[in-house]
Amino acid sequence: MTSRNLNFKHRVAVVGAGLTLFRRRLQETPQELAWLAAKQALEEAGLTLKDIDCVVIGSAPDAFDGVHMKGEYLAEGAGGIGKPVVRVFVGGATGVFVPIAAWWHVASGLCKRVLAVAEEKMSHAAKPHPQYVFRYIWDPIVEKPLNPNLLWIFAMEMHRYMYKCGVKKEDIALVSVKNKRNACGHPSAQLCDPNIKVEDVLNSEVLVWPVQRLDVSPVSDGAAAVVLASEEEARRITDTPVWIKGIGWTLDTTHWTNRDLAFPEYVRRAAEMAYRMAGIDNPRKQIDVAEPYDPFDYKELHHMEGLGLARKCEAPILTREGVTQRDGDLPINPSGGLLGVGNPIAAAGLMKVAEIFWQIRGEAGARQVKKPVYTGLAQAWGDLMQAGTVVVMGI
């Protein structure tokens, strides 16, 4: 897309964000969770629903909430009452895709103020276990008859990565430890543990080797929301808008058994698209803080490499050296990520966007990273290890 016109009609800013608690089970209906997050985002932006032109919803499989056409069902709680509403979907990568779709709602000039909401209520799929729902993400003809557990594919990717890069489980566990400790500063967090140690991760229940229980993010209910606005509107709403500088996403082939899993090429392509738009040529230097998707601890490392924040096989070394801590040179997942805050799928991705928003505004409180933040990045990942979504934000 080198020939593209990068002088967009409208710059787009984030002007407010909101979250619910992330918990294993929440009593609120999916509509009400969406409302809680949307309401908080509107309040933070100093707006009411009347000010909103368009609504973008993100939610992962309908099979969790147990409602077919979940976007239609959620619309009301997300503020989609007599408004244009669209629900976008790229599996686990949906959370970060929501602001991407919201971006063109504004950049096209068709909407001025957009409410972007992501929700997931996994606890509805209670019997036998929410994890069972993931059985239906496999190819129904050539894979599902083998009765797979979702963790298989991730374990396969993790193991391939360990094999190709010579990474030890101890090094990967450091990510889980960091994120679960970071989460203690997050008011929404489901799994804060200030005292967790590498041994705890290594001694936790083995699920699908090499994945153990503390390598994985939990099952969660929750919602997140952000408000986006055109430049003119953003300046009217706030003195400190945070600009969306770059968007990018890529889907690799469906056929994951046909490709190498050691490196997330789809994340690299997505990042390249976003970097080109944002004018970033050296992400390691130009990105001050990042929230790569961490449903598994190895995924944070994997994605850092895909995003060009580390060279291939280098992320574990940076982690061991403390570079990715909140006070490090490249803070990664200061929110606590999915491993710490929780993983209501789409909502978790949008939580990362909210985190970057608050980090850039200096509003992350106990979670604020030590170095000054001008530019940040949020990324999510999904489908059959094939989707990468990236948003670059800055002042």
Among 95, 99, 185, 218, binds other proteins (CB under 8 A): 185
Binding residues for other proteins restricted to 219-238, rule: CB under 8 A? 221-222
Residue 393's DSSP bridge partners are 244, 376
Judge whether 346 and 96 are in contact, CB under 8 Å. Answer: no
Among 191, 214, 273, 304, binds other proteins (CB under 8 A): 273
Residue 1 lies near other proteins (rule: CB under 8 A): yes
Name the residue among 121, 23, 125 with its Cα closest to residue 77: 121
Judge whether 392 and 274 are in contact, CB under 8 Å. Answer: yes
Closest distance to other proteins from the beta carbon of 193 (Å) = 17
Binding residues for other proteins restricted to 124-163, rule: CB under 8 A? 124-129, 131-137, 139-149, 151-152, 155-157, 159-160, 162-163
The count of other CB atoms within 10 Å of the CB of residue 27 is 9
Chain-centre distance for alpha carbon 278: 19
Residue 86 lies near other proteins (rule: CB under 8 A): yes
Helices 94-107 and 345-361 cross at an angle (nearest 10°) of: 60
| CA distance linking residue 61 with residue 89, whole number of Å | 9
Considering the complex, state which of residue 187 and residue 322 has its C-beta at the smaller distance from other proteins. Answer: 187
Residue 68 lies near other proteins (rule: CB under 8 A): yes
Residue in the structure block whose two tokens are 């209910």: 221
Among 89, 293, 296, 298, binds other proteins (CB under 8 A): 89
Closest distance to other proteins from the beta carbon of 379 (Å) = 15
Judge whether 347 and 224 are in contact, CB under 8 Å. Answer: yes
The count of other CB atoms within 10 Å of the CB of residue 309 is 23
Among 228, 245, 367, 392, binds other proteins (CB under 8 A): 367
Ramachandran angles phi, psi of 49, nearest 5°: -60, -25
Among 96, 174, 201, 277, binds other proteins (CB under 8 A): 277
Q: How many residues belong to the site for other proteins (CB under 8 A)? A: 148
Among 46, 187, 279, 322, binds other proteins (CB under 8 A): 187
The enclosing H or E element of 123 equals none
Closest distance to other proteins from the beta carbon of 339 (Å) = 18
Closest distance to other proteins from the beta carbon of 28 (Å) = 5
Among 165, 261, 301, 393, binds other proteins (CB under 8 A): 261
DSSP state of 239: S
Considering the complex, state which of residue 149 and residue 286 has its C-beta at the smaller distance from other proteins. Answer: 149
Among 167, 177, 251, 377, binds other proteins (CB under 8 A): 251
Considering the complex, state which of residue 132 and residue 329 has its C-beta at the smaller distance from other proteins. Answer: 132
Q: How far is CA 300 from CA 276, 294, 296, in A?
A: 22, 5, 7
Closest distance to other proteins from the beta carbon of 147 (Å) = 5
Among 13, 14, 15, 44, binds other proteins (CB under 8 A): 44
Considering the complex, state which of residue 259 and residue 284 has its C-beta at the smaller distance from other proteins. Answer: 259
**Checking phi first, is residue 268 left (phi over 0); if not, alpha (psi -120 to 50) or beta?**
alpha
